[in-house]
Structure 1
Amino acid sequence: MIQIREACEYDAKRFAKMQLQIDSETDYMLYGAGEREITSKDARKRIEYFADLPYSLILVAEDTETEVLMGFLIADGNPPNRMQHSVYIAVGVLKEYWGRGVATRLFTHMETWAKARGVVHRLELGVLCENTKALRLYQNLGYEIEGTHRDSFMIGADYYDTYWMSKLI
Protein backbone atom coordinates (compact mmCIF):
# COMPACT_ATOMS: atom_id res chain seq x y z
CA MET A 1 0.00 0.00 0.00
CA ILE A 2 1.24 3.49 -0.82
CA GLN A 3 1.22 6.08 1.94
CA ILE A 4 1.81 9.78 1.20
CA ARG A 5 3.05 11.76 4.19
CA GLU A 6 5.37 14.53 5.27
CA ALA A 7 9.01 13.52 5.55
CA CYS A 8 10.39 13.20 9.08
CA GLU A 9 13.84 12.81 10.64
CA TYR A 10 13.42 9.03 10.62
CA ASP A 11 13.35 9.14 6.80
CA ALA A 12 16.73 10.86 6.36
CA LYS A 13 18.84 7.83 5.42
CA ARG A 14 16.20 6.37 3.09
CA PHE A 15 15.44 9.81 1.62
CA ALA A 16 19.10 10.39 0.72
CA LYS A 17 19.39 6.92 -0.80
CA MET A 18 16.19 7.39 -2.82
CA GLN A 19 17.29 10.75 -4.24
CA LEU A 20 20.64 9.35 -5.34
CA GLN A 21 18.93 6.36 -6.95
CA ILE A 22 16.46 8.58 -8.82
CA ASP A 23 19.38 10.72 -10.05
CA SER A 24 20.94 7.58 -11.54
CA GLU A 25 17.75 6.29 -13.16
CA THR A 26 16.81 9.24 -15.39
CA ASP A 27 18.32 12.21 -17.20
CA TYR A 28 15.27 14.30 -16.38
CA MET A 29 16.33 15.35 -12.88
CA LEU A 30 18.46 18.38 -12.04
CA TYR A 31 21.38 16.20 -10.94
CA GLY A 32 22.85 13.36 -12.97
CA ALA A 33 24.17 10.04 -11.70
CA GLY A 34 27.05 10.54 -9.27
CA GLU A 35 26.91 14.33 -9.63
CA ARG A 36 26.04 15.11 -6.02
CA GLU A 37 26.66 13.71 -2.62
CA ILE A 38 23.84 13.68 -0.13
CA THR A 39 24.37 12.10 3.26
CA SER A 40 21.82 11.10 5.85
CA LYS A 41 22.94 14.15 7.82
CA ASP A 42 22.32 16.43 4.80
CA ALA A 43 18.89 14.92 4.26
CA ARG A 44 18.00 15.25 7.96
CA LYS A 45 18.99 18.94 7.95
CA ARG A 46 16.87 19.60 4.85
CA ILE A 47 13.86 17.76 6.27
CA GLU A 48 14.16 19.66 9.58
CA TYR A 49 14.59 23.00 7.78
CA PHE A 50 11.51 22.48 5.59
CA ALA A 51 9.45 21.34 8.59
CA ASP A 52 9.96 24.79 10.15
CA LEU A 53 8.86 26.74 7.06
CA PRO A 54 5.16 27.65 6.85
CA TYR A 55 5.02 27.64 3.04
CA SER A 56 7.29 24.70 2.22
CA LEU A 57 6.84 20.96 2.39
CA ILE A 58 8.63 17.68 1.71
CA LEU A 59 6.37 14.73 1.00
CA VAL A 60 7.41 11.11 0.62
CA ALA A 61 5.60 8.18 -0.91
CA GLU A 62 6.25 5.03 1.11
CA ASP A 63 5.40 1.42 0.39
CA THR A 64 4.01 0.52 3.82
CA GLU A 65 4.63 -3.20 3.31
CA THR A 66 8.33 -2.91 2.44
CA GLU A 67 9.02 0.50 4.05
CA VAL A 68 10.69 1.60 0.80
CA LEU A 69 10.52 5.30 -0.01
CA MET A 70 9.48 5.26 -3.66
CA GLY A 71 9.09 8.95 -4.41
CA PHE A 72 9.15 12.50 -3.13
CA LEU A 73 7.69 15.91 -3.79
CA ILE A 74 9.28 19.12 -2.56
CA ALA A 75 7.12 22.25 -2.49
CA ASP A 76 9.46 25.16 -1.90
CA GLY A 77 7.72 28.34 -0.80
CA ASN A 78 9.05 31.86 -0.80
CA PRO A 79 9.48 34.00 2.32
CA PRO A 80 9.06 37.49 0.82
CA ASN A 81 5.49 38.71 1.34
CA ARG A 82 5.08 39.38 -2.37
CA MET A 83 5.97 35.77 -3.24
CA GLN A 84 4.34 33.76 -0.44
CA HIS A 85 1.48 32.79 -2.70
CA SER A 86 3.86 30.89 -5.01
CA VAL A 87 5.41 27.44 -4.53
CA TYR A 88 8.06 25.78 -6.73
CA ILE A 89 7.71 22.00 -7.08
CA ALA A 90 10.32 19.29 -7.59
CA VAL A 91 9.21 15.66 -7.83
CA GLY A 92 10.87 12.31 -8.37
CA VAL A 93 9.79 8.67 -8.35
CA LEU A 94 11.95 5.54 -8.43
CA LYS A 95 11.82 3.97 -11.89
CA GLU A 96 10.44 0.71 -10.51
CA TYR A 97 7.30 2.62 -9.45
CA TRP A 98 6.70 4.67 -12.61
CA GLY A 99 3.19 4.39 -14.00
CA ARG A 100 1.62 3.39 -10.67
CA GLY A 101 0.09 6.75 -9.78
CA VAL A 102 2.73 7.68 -7.19
CA ALA A 103 3.39 11.15 -8.64
CA THR A 104 -0.33 11.84 -9.01
CA ARG A 105 -0.89 10.97 -5.36
CA LEU A 106 2.03 13.18 -4.29
CA PHE A 107 0.59 16.11 -6.26
CA THR A 108 -2.92 15.55 -4.88
CA HIS A 109 -1.62 15.53 -1.30
CA MET A 110 0.48 18.65 -1.94
CA GLU A 111 -2.50 20.53 -3.42
CA THR A 112 -4.61 19.69 -0.37
CA TRP A 113 -1.81 21.03 1.83
CA ALA A 114 -1.47 24.18 -0.33
CA LYS A 115 -5.19 24.93 -0.24
CA ALA A 116 -5.25 24.45 3.54
CA ARG A 117 -2.55 27.13 3.90
CA GLY A 118 -5.03 29.67 2.57
CA VAL A 119 -2.25 31.73 1.01
CA VAL A 120 -0.75 29.48 -1.69
CA HIS A 121 -2.29 30.37 -5.03
CA ARG A 122 0.39 29.50 -7.61
CA LEU A 123 2.09 26.12 -8.12
CA GLU A 124 4.99 26.09 -10.57
CA LEU A 125 7.56 23.69 -11.97
CA GLY A 126 9.99 23.14 -14.81
CA VAL A 127 10.12 20.08 -17.07
CA LEU A 128 12.36 19.11 -19.97
CA CYS A 129 10.41 19.45 -23.22
CA GLU A 130 11.49 15.90 -24.17
CA ASN A 131 10.01 14.42 -20.98
CA THR A 132 6.66 13.70 -22.62
CA LYS A 133 5.38 11.38 -19.86
CA ALA A 134 5.89 14.00 -17.14
CA LEU A 135 4.56 16.74 -19.41
CA ARG A 136 1.38 14.74 -20.03
CA LEU A 137 1.01 14.07 -16.28
CA TYR A 138 1.36 17.74 -15.40
CA GLN A 139 -1.10 18.79 -18.09
CA ASN A 140 -3.59 16.15 -16.88
CA LEU A 141 -3.22 17.64 -13.38
CA GLY A 142 -4.12 21.08 -14.73
CA TYR A 143 -0.68 22.65 -15.20
CA GLU A 144 -0.24 24.91 -18.22
CA ILE A 145 2.89 25.79 -20.17
CA GLU A 146 3.81 29.42 -19.64
CA GLY A 147 6.99 29.54 -21.65
CA THR A 148 10.12 27.82 -22.84
CA HIS A 149 13.57 28.24 -21.33
CA ARG A 150 15.83 27.65 -24.29
CA ASP A 151 19.02 25.62 -23.77
CA SER A 152 18.43 25.71 -20.01
CA PHE A 153 19.55 22.12 -19.40
CA MET A 154 22.78 20.50 -20.53
CA ILE A 155 23.21 16.73 -20.56
CA GLY A 156 26.66 15.76 -21.74
CA ALA A 157 27.42 18.16 -24.59
CA ASP A 158 23.78 18.61 -25.66
CA TYR A 159 21.47 21.46 -24.70
CA TYR A 160 17.79 20.96 -23.92
CA ASP A 161 14.85 23.30 -23.53
CA THR A 162 12.53 23.24 -20.52
CA TYR A 163 8.93 24.26 -20.21
CA TRP A 164 7.95 26.49 -17.32
CA MET A 165 4.52 25.37 -16.13
CA SER A 166 2.07 26.55 -13.50
CA LYS A 167 -1.31 25.91 -11.99
CA LEU A 168 -3.39 28.44 -10.12
CA ILE A 169 -5.48 27.13 -7.22
Structure 2
Amino acid sequence: MIINNEEFYKRGITYTIRSAVHADAKQLAQLRLQIDGETENLDREPGEALMNEHDFEQLIKNDSESDNNLFLVAVIQGQMVGFSRCQGNKLKRLSHKVEFGVGVLKDYWGYGIGKKLLSKSIIWADSNNLKKMTLHVLETNKKAVTLYKSLGFEIEGVLKKDKRLSDGNYYHTIVMGRIYE
Protein backbone atom coordinates (compact mmCIF):
# COMPACT_ATOMS: atom_id res chain seq x y z
CA MET A 1 0.00 0.00 0.00
CA ILE A 2 1.16 3.55 -0.74
CA ILE A 3 0.46 6.57 1.49
CA ASN A 4 0.85 10.31 0.90
CA ASN A 5 4.07 12.05 1.95
CA GLU A 6 3.87 14.07 5.15
CA GLU A 7 6.40 16.47 6.65
CA PHE A 8 7.12 16.89 10.37
CA TYR A 9 9.24 19.28 12.42
CA LYS A 10 10.71 18.71 15.88
CA ARG A 11 13.58 20.34 17.75
CA GLY A 12 15.11 21.93 14.66
CA ILE A 13 14.79 18.92 12.35
CA THR A 14 12.34 18.59 9.47
CA TYR A 15 11.70 15.08 8.23
CA THR A 16 9.37 13.43 5.74
CA ILE A 17 7.46 10.20 6.26
CA ARG A 18 6.55 8.48 3.00
CA SER A 19 6.10 5.10 1.41
CA ALA A 20 9.25 3.28 0.40
CA VAL A 21 9.91 3.30 -3.34
CA HIS A 22 12.10 1.18 -5.63
CA ALA A 23 14.91 3.76 -5.62
CA ASP A 24 15.21 3.43 -1.80
CA ALA A 25 16.40 -0.19 -1.90
CA LYS A 26 20.16 0.42 -1.74
CA GLN A 27 19.89 3.00 1.03
CA LEU A 28 17.50 0.72 2.99
CA ALA A 29 19.98 -2.16 2.86
CA GLN A 30 22.68 0.10 4.30
CA LEU A 31 20.34 1.68 6.86
CA ARG A 32 19.09 -1.65 8.22
CA LEU A 33 22.65 -2.91 8.66
CA GLN A 34 23.66 0.30 10.47
CA ILE A 35 20.62 0.23 12.79
CA ASP A 36 21.25 -3.44 13.63
CA GLY A 37 24.72 -2.40 14.84
CA GLU A 38 23.47 0.50 16.96
CA THR A 39 21.03 -1.25 19.27
CA GLU A 40 20.26 -4.59 20.83
CA ASN A 41 16.54 -3.79 20.81
CA LEU A 42 16.10 -5.62 17.51
CA ASP A 43 16.25 -9.34 16.76
CA ARG A 44 19.40 -9.35 14.66
CA GLU A 45 23.11 -8.96 15.21
CA PRO A 46 24.82 -6.77 12.56
CA GLY A 47 25.02 -8.73 9.30
CA GLU A 48 22.55 -11.44 10.31
CA ALA A 49 19.60 -12.11 8.00
CA LEU A 50 21.27 -9.64 5.66
CA MET A 51 19.06 -8.11 3.00
CA ASN A 52 20.72 -6.68 -0.09
CA GLU A 53 19.46 -4.08 -2.56
CA HIS A 54 17.66 -6.68 -4.67
CA ASP A 55 15.91 -8.12 -1.59
CA PHE A 56 14.62 -4.66 -0.69
CA GLU A 57 13.51 -3.98 -4.27
CA GLN A 58 11.36 -7.11 -4.14
CA LEU A 59 10.02 -6.31 -0.67
CA ILE A 60 9.08 -2.76 -1.68
CA LYS A 61 7.37 -4.03 -4.83
CA ASN A 62 5.38 -6.63 -2.91
CA ASP A 63 4.42 -4.22 -0.13
CA SER A 64 3.39 -1.51 -2.59
CA GLU A 65 1.06 -3.92 -4.37
CA SER A 66 -0.42 -5.44 -1.20
CA ASP A 67 -3.45 -4.04 0.59
CA ASN A 68 -2.31 -5.40 3.95
CA ASN A 69 1.38 -4.40 3.95
CA LEU A 70 2.84 -0.94 4.51
CA PHE A 71 6.51 0.03 4.20
CA LEU A 72 7.37 3.57 5.35
CA VAL A 73 10.63 5.51 5.46
CA ALA A 74 11.69 8.65 7.31
CA VAL A 75 13.92 11.00 5.32
CA ILE A 76 15.89 14.10 6.29
CA GLN A 77 17.34 16.13 3.38
CA GLY A 78 17.49 13.06 1.13
CA GLN A 79 19.07 10.87 3.83
CA MET A 80 17.02 7.94 5.11
CA VAL A 81 17.09 7.86 8.93
CA GLY A 82 14.37 5.34 9.77
CA PHE A 83 11.80 2.92 8.48
CA SER A 84 8.80 0.92 9.60
CA ARG A 85 6.85 -1.93 8.19
CA CYS A 86 3.45 -3.46 8.74
CA GLN A 87 3.24 -6.98 7.43
CA GLY A 88 -0.11 -8.63 7.00
CA ASN A 89 -1.04 -12.15 6.14
CA LYS A 90 -2.96 -13.55 3.16
CA LEU A 91 -4.43 -16.41 5.17
CA LYS A 92 -8.12 -15.69 5.84
CA ARG A 93 -7.88 -16.47 9.54
CA LEU A 94 -5.03 -14.02 10.00
CA SER A 95 -5.88 -11.39 7.38
CA HIS A 96 -7.44 -9.05 9.96
CA LYS A 97 -4.11 -8.14 11.57
CA VAL A 98 -0.62 -6.82 10.86
CA GLU A 99 2.72 -7.05 12.65
CA PHE A 100 4.53 -3.73 13.13
CA GLY A 101 8.31 -3.22 13.24
CA VAL A 102 10.42 -0.05 13.31
CA GLY A 103 14.04 1.08 13.20
CA VAL A 104 15.53 4.58 13.57
CA LEU A 105 19.19 5.61 13.51
CA LYS A 106 20.44 6.27 17.05
CA ASP A 107 21.45 9.85 16.16
CA TYR A 108 17.76 10.57 15.53
CA TRP A 109 16.25 9.02 18.65
CA GLY A 110 14.21 11.57 20.60
CA TYR A 111 12.84 13.44 17.57
CA GLY A 112 9.54 11.57 17.48
CA ILE A 113 10.39 9.77 14.24
CA GLY A 114 9.50 6.30 15.53
CA LYS A 115 6.28 7.66 17.03
CA LYS A 116 5.28 9.30 13.73
CA LEU A 117 6.05 6.13 11.78
CA LEU A 118 3.82 4.19 14.17
CA SER A 119 1.09 6.86 14.18
CA LYS A 120 0.96 6.87 10.37
CA SER A 121 0.78 3.06 10.44
CA ILE A 122 -2.08 3.13 12.95
CA ILE A 123 -4.04 5.58 10.77
CA TRP A 124 -3.41 3.36 7.75
CA ALA A 125 -4.49 0.20 9.61
CA ASP A 126 -7.64 1.87 10.89
CA SER A 127 -8.58 3.21 7.45
CA ASN A 128 -8.05 -0.22 5.90
CA ASN A 129 -10.41 -1.97 8.32
CA LEU A 130 -7.68 -4.01 9.97
CA LYS A 131 -8.76 -5.21 13.40
CA LYS A 132 -5.43 -5.68 15.15
CA MET A 133 -1.83 -4.48 15.10
CA THR A 134 0.82 -6.44 17.00
CA LEU A 135 4.47 -5.91 17.86
CA HIS A 136 7.26 -7.40 19.94
CA VAL A 137 9.50 -5.29 22.17
CA LEU A 138 12.46 -6.18 24.36
CA GLU A 139 11.67 -5.79 28.08
CA THR A 140 14.62 -3.42 28.56
CA ASN A 141 13.25 -0.97 25.97
CA LYS A 142 11.12 0.91 28.53
CA LYS A 143 10.71 4.05 26.38
CA ALA A 144 9.24 2.00 23.54
CA VAL A 145 6.84 0.16 25.87
CA THR A 146 5.66 3.52 27.26
CA LEU A 147 5.22 4.90 23.73
CA TYR A 148 3.27 1.85 22.57
CA LYS A 149 0.97 2.04 25.61
CA SER A 150 0.36 5.74 24.94
CA LEU A 151 -0.84 4.83 21.44
CA GLY A 152 -3.33 2.22 22.64
CA PHE A 153 -1.24 -0.95 22.71
CA GLU A 154 -1.68 -3.39 25.58
CA ILE A 155 0.62 -6.09 26.85
CA GLU A 156 -0.77 -9.42 25.68
CA GLY A 157 1.99 -11.66 26.94
CA VAL A 158 5.64 -12.22 27.66
CA LEU A 159 8.04 -14.57 25.90
CA LYS A 160 10.35 -15.51 28.75
CA LYS A 161 14.12 -15.59 28.21
CA ASP A 162 13.44 -14.99 24.53
CA LYS A 163 16.65 -13.20 23.55
CA ARG A 164 20.27 -13.50 24.62
CA LEU A 165 22.12 -10.20 24.40
CA SER A 166 25.82 -9.36 24.26
CA ASP A 167 26.11 -9.43 28.06
CA GLY A 168 25.30 -13.16 27.92
CA ASN A 169 22.03 -12.73 29.81
CA TYR A 170 18.59 -13.74 28.58
CA TYR A 171 15.78 -11.20 28.36
CA HIS A 172 12.03 -11.36 27.94
CA THR A 173 10.17 -10.14 24.88
CA ILE A 174 6.88 -8.34 25.50
CA VAL A 175 4.09 -9.06 23.01
CA MET A 176 1.78 -6.08 22.57
CA GLY A 177 -1.37 -5.57 20.57
CA ARG A 178 -3.75 -2.79 19.59
CA ILE A 179 -7.29 -3.85 18.78
CA TYR A 180 -9.56 -1.73 16.60
CA GLU A 181 -13.26 -1.81 17.44
Give the structure 1 partner of residue 69 of structure 2.
56
State how 1:158-169 maps to structure 2 within 5 Å: 158-169=169-180
Partner AA of 1:126 in structure 2: H
Give the structure 2 partner of residue 43 of structure 1.
56
State how 1:33-112 maps to structure 2 within 5 Å: 33-63=46-76, 66-112=77-123
Determine what percentage of the aligned residue pairs are the same residue.
35
Partner AA of 2:178 in structure 1: K
Q: Name the Cα RMSD after superposition.
A: 1.2
Residue 13 in 1 paired to residue 23 in 2? no
Deviation, 1:37, is 2.4
Residue 127 in 1 paired to residue 137 in 2? yes
Partner AA of 1:76 in structure 2: Q
Which moved further from structure 2: 49-58 or 84-93?
49-58
Q: Secondary structure at the match of 1:21?
A: helix
Deviation, 1:30, is 1.1
Q: Secondary structure at the match of 1:96?
A: helix
Residue by residue over 1:92-122, the C-alpha shift from the partner in whole angstroms, topping out at 9 and shown as x without a partner, is: 111011010001110111112112212x010
Residue 28 in 1 paired to residue 41 in 2? yes
Quick one: distance in 1 between partners of 2:52 and 2:46? 15
Residue by residue over 1:11-30, the C-alpha shift from the partner in whole angstroms, topping out at 9 and shown as x without a partner, is: 10111111111000000111
Deviation, 1:34, is 2.8
Gaps of 5+ in 2: 1-13
Output the TM-score relative to the length of structure 2. 0.87
Quick one: distance in 2 between partners of 1:106 and 1:40? 22
Residue by residue over 1:118-149, the C-alpha shift from the partner in whole angstroms, topping out at 9 and shown as x without a partner, is: 2x010100001111111111111111111110
Aligned length: 166
Quick one: distance in 2 between partners of 1:85 and 1:38? 27
Q: Secondary structure at the match of 2:102?
A: strand
Gaps of 5+ in 1: none
Q: Secondary structure at the match of 1:28?
A: coil
Give the structure 1 partner of residue 5 of structure 2.
none
Quick one: distance in 1 between partners of 2:177 and 2:49? 28
Which moved further from structure 2: 34-43 or 125-134?
34-43
Output the TM-score relative to the length of structure 1. 0.93
Quick one: distance in 1 between partners of 2:49 and 2:152? 32
